[in-house]
Structure 1
Amino acid sequence: MSGRQIYRNLGIRIKGLRGSLGLTQDQLAKQVGISRASLANIERGKQQVLVHHLFALAEALQLESPSDLLLAPQAGSGRHRTHNDLPLAEEGLTDKQRQEVLRLMGGVLENDDHGNPGENSRREDQ
C-alpha cells in the first residue's frame, strides 16, 4: 500500500469522527493546534500528520489512544480492531509490515505512559 493511501484512510477516519462529534474543521483544528487548511489537507490525505498531532487529534476526537485513529472499532462489537483488522492490511501490508506499524505505535504510546514525549511535550510544540 502506498503512503498516499495510508494518509487517505487516516483522513477519512478523522473526518468521520469529527462529523460524529458535530465539530467543524475550524473547531477541531483549534483544539489540535493546527490551521483549518492543514486539517482540510489531512482529511483529504494530502498532508502528512506529525506524531504529536496524532495525539492531539485522538484527544480532541475523544479517543482512548492515538492508535484508535488507525484501529477503528468494529461496528456493534464493543471491541477495538487488532492489527489483523487494519484497513491497510487488506491492501498490501505484509504481516511483518503490520507488526512494525504496531511496534512503532506501541513505542509512542509506551513513551507517553512513562511521561516521555507525550502529553507535555506535545503542548510545548504547539
Structure 2
Amino acid sequence: MDSDALYAQIGNKISAARRDAGLTQNAVARQVGVSRASLANIEAGRQQVFVHHLVKIAHALELCDISALLHYDLNGQDHGLRAEDVRFSGADLSMEEREGVLAFLSRAASKDRHGDDAQPVR
C-alpha cells in the first residue's frame, strides 16, 4: 500500500469516529491542538498525521487506543502499515527504529486489551 492511500484510510477512520461521537472538527481540533483546517486535511488524507496527534485524537474521541484509527491489525495481520510508512516530524529514523516504533505500538495496544503481562502477537 502506498503512503497516500494509508493516510487517506486513517483520515477516513478519524472522520467516521468523530462523526459517530457527534463532535465537530472544531471541537476535536481544539483538544488536539491543531487548526480545524489541519484536522480537515488529516481527515481527507492530504496531511500526514503525527503519532502524538493520533493519541490526542483518540483521547478526544474517547477511543480506547489509537489502533482503532490505524490501518493495521495489531493482532498480527498486516493490512498495509509498514515500517517505511512511519514518519516523525524532525526525526530521521532508520528502518530498525521504525520497526521498533511499530513493535512498541503493538505491545502498548496488546497491554490495553489484555492486561500488563500480555505479549504482542507476531
Q: TM-score range by the shorter chain?
A: 0.5 to 0.7
Matches within 5 A, 1:1-126: 1-70=1-70, 82-84=75-77, 86=79, 88=80, 104-108=101-105
- C-alpha contact 1:10 1:70 (8 A) present in aligned 2: yes
Gaps of 5+ in 2: 86-95, 109-122
User: What is the alpha-carbon distance in structure 1 between the residues aligned to residue 33 and residue 105 of structure 2?
Assistant: 20
Call closer, same or farther: CA 1:13–1:83 in 2, change over 3 Å. farther
Equivalent residue letter for 1:62: E
Fraction of identical pairs, as percent: 41
Q: Relative to structure 1, is the Cα distance of residues 21 and 52 closer, same or farther in structure 2, using a 3 angstrom cutoff?
A: same
C-alpha distance 83-9 of structure 1, shift in aligned 2 (>3 A): farther
Per the alignment, residue 77 of structure 1 pairs with none
Q: Which runs of 5+ in 1 are unaligned?
A: 73-79, 112-126
State the 1:85 CA deviation: 6.6
Q: Provide the aligned C-alpha RMSD in A.
A: 3.0
Deviations 1:37-58 (A, max 9, x none): 0000000000011111011011
Deviation at 1:105, TM superposition (A): 3.5
Instruction: Give structure 1 regions of 4+ aligned residues with deviation exceeding 6 angstroms.
Output: none
TM-score, normalization by structure 1: 0.62
Contact 1:83 1:102 in 2 (8 A): no
> Which structure dedicates a bigger proportion of its chain to helix?
1
Letter matched to residue 107 of structure 1: F
Number of corresponding residues: 95
Q: Which amino acid aligns with 2:69?
A: L
Question: How far is 1:68 from its partner?
Answer: 2.2
TM-score scaled by length of structure 2: 0.64
